[in-house]
Amino acid sequence: MSSTDKASVKAQVKAPTKVERKIVRDIGKLSSSQRRALDTTLTYWRKIGTSNVPANRKMAEEGVIEAYRAVKLDPPKLFVWLDSPRAGATCVRLLKSDLDWPAQLAPHQRVVWDSVWQQCMPFIKSVVGNDKWNEIKREIKQEAQKKVLQQYPHLVEKVVKERFSEHLGIWIWKHLRKAYGYSVFEEVRNEMDRFVQVKIKDKVLEETSLFISHELVSPLQRQLEACILEPLRREMTVNNGILLGRQTWECCFGQHDAPWLSYFDYLSRLGLAEADAVSGLKKVARAAGWWWPYKNLCILTERPKQLNRENRLYLHSESGAAIEYPDGWGIYSYRGIVVPEYVINLSEPISVEMIEAEPNVEVRRVLIERFGLENYLKTGNLVKIHQDDCGILYRMNLQGDEPMLVVRVINSTPEPDGTRKNYFLRVPPNMMRARQAVAWTFGLTEDEYHPLQET
């Protein structure tokens, strides 16, 4: 979000007057203007949660320092920036592993390995001192030359550089594992949340707090946590190769922390000073993606470079990743259902054989939708269940899935040539009669459905 956008959003939230400030020391029922400000705050944090502009690294690091100091911690000595949440999680796995040879890593993990040690090199150099650093480099280079001369005498210079770089990276990772400290997520995130909750507990009427949560926090949870954050969390545990293991979630979600931070931001806008304690965390959320706080190290990540959603706000794209980060990692999703890349970037036309060979039920349903429900029904064995003046109800049995029920209806409006189109509408498998099925598509019961004219 540009500085102009931020200024525009902030300008829409009226600063509390002296009278309002007196009220917000003990917030009771909200005034009409304060209720309208909820919509503005909702829009503001939704934009933050769905932002796909590059991270503001300076602002994010300032926010981290402020967040550490707010809980009386010394700021981290080192910041590492990576290009996606998966890269950040990979870095954490590497820190906690005893892996000492990067050749075993998957390509995307090797990128993280190299990026981290190269970013950490100036810090490690300052810790060990120039003399020790030069000695270490000299020893590593001599060892590399010795091995290369034995194995690749005709490619000495090129291979020595590669071996030197590789072994220097290994040495830096060993030192980094001893120096990064321990996770301070509990203090920075959870303890701060509890601290502020206690401070404001007696200053906000319970009814008002519930109203703010319902009108501000809950919509953001549905739009950001359910539709974006959770799919990302699920995909983080996929294809970890040699780093396979239980995924720990000692991380802050940056822009995706918008739901819970919006509550305190709104109270702060009303003038409740106690809510300002999370200002550092809000600053990071406005500037970056997911981040992992440790005593001496903070791992921060970029925001997505593209984000595509459908009108119900679920991740959705029919021509590429629905969400993609600068390092290429992302999610392919069709109307909120995470699918393999091949379902979206088809290398060959969808066929009935491809659909029926797909073992995942949800993915199979997406393939059917992309293939065309009517086309798919024409290829299978339909069993007529019921027929009345509303249409015909059919059932099609699917291997490994619940039966597919569809109702065939005829468009009451004729085409220009006088013909009338047939439409197949998928309905729940508990439908028993055609009228009941058609009524369901309108959100009505069978008894309630008596159209004068069907369209």
Quote the number of domains for the chain.
Answer: 3
pLDDT higher than 90, residue 23: no
Q: Which of 364, 380, 396 is the last residue of a domain?
A: 380
Do 264 and 331 fall within a single domain?
A: no
Residue 374 belongs to what domain range?
305-380
Residue 160 lies in a domain: yes
Stated pTM of the model: 0.80
Return the pLDDT at 455: 45
Residue 449 lies in a domain: no
Do 297 and 164 fall within a single domain?
A: yes
Do 368 and 404 fall within a single domain?
A: no
Q: What is the pLDDT of residues 89-139, one digit of tens each?
A: 999 999 999 888 888 899 999 999 999 999 999 999 998 999 999 999 888
Question: Hey, what are 149's tokens?
Answer: 């001369």
On whether the CB atoms of residues 280 and 72 are closer than 8 A, the answer is: no
Whose CA is closest to 296, among 129, 428, 184, 412? Answer: 184
pLDDT higher than 50, residue 357: yes
Q: Which of 268, 286, 303 is the last residue of a domain?
A: 303
Q: Which residues pair with 391 in a beta bridge?
A: 388
Do 328 and 372 fall within a single domain?
A: yes
Q: Which residues contact 98 (CB under 8 A, 6 or more apart)?
A: none
For residues 43 and 439, give the distance between their C-alpha atoms in angstroms, rounded to a whole number: 36
Residue 451 lies in a domain: no
Return the pLDDT at 159: 66
Q: Which residues pair with 81 in a beta bridge?
A: 300
Residue 452 lies in a domain: no
Return the pLDDT at 382: 78
Question: Hey, what are 4's tokens?
Answer: 């102009």
Q: Which residues contact 32 (CB under 8 A, 6 or more apart)?
A: none
Using only C-alpha atoms, the chain has a radius of gyration, in whole angstroms, of 29
Do 3 and 151 fall within a single domain?
A: yes
Residue 454 lies in a domain: no
Do 361 and 395 fall within a single domain?
A: no
Q: What is the pLDDT of residues 134-160, one digit of tens each?
A: 999 888 888 877 766 666 555 556 666
Residue 248 pLDDT class (50, 70, 90 cuts): confident
Return the pLDDT at 11: 39
Q: Lowest-pLDDT range, 46-55, 100-109, 316-325, 399-408?
A: 399-408
Do 52 and 145 fall within a single domain?
A: yes
Do 12 and 143 fall within a single domain?
A: yes
Q: Which of 270, 303, 336 is the last residue of a domain?
A: 303
Do 273 and 314 fall within a single domain?
A: no
Q: What is the pLDDT of residues 168-199, one digit of tens each?
A: 999 999 999 999 999 999 999 999 999 999 99
Return the pLDDT at 362: 87
Question: What average pLDDT is seen over the chain?
Answer: 86
Do 206 and 81 fall within a single domain?
A: yes
Which secondary-structure segment (H or E) carries 408?
strand 404-410
Question: Hey, what are 22's tokens?
Answer: 């007196």
pLDDT higher than 80, residue 385: yes
Write the DSSP assignment of 26-51 as a string of letters: TB-SPPHHHHHHHHHHHHHHHHHHT-
pLDDT higher than 70, residue 413: yes
Residue 256 lies in a domain: yes
- Cα 77 to chain centroid distance, Å, stands at 28
Residue 315 lies in a domain: yes
Residue 61 lies in a domain: yes
Residue 201: Cβ-neighbour burial (10 angstroms; 0-12, 13-18, 19+): exposed
Do 106 and 247 fall within a single domain?
A: yes
Do 420 and 288 fall within a single domain?
A: no
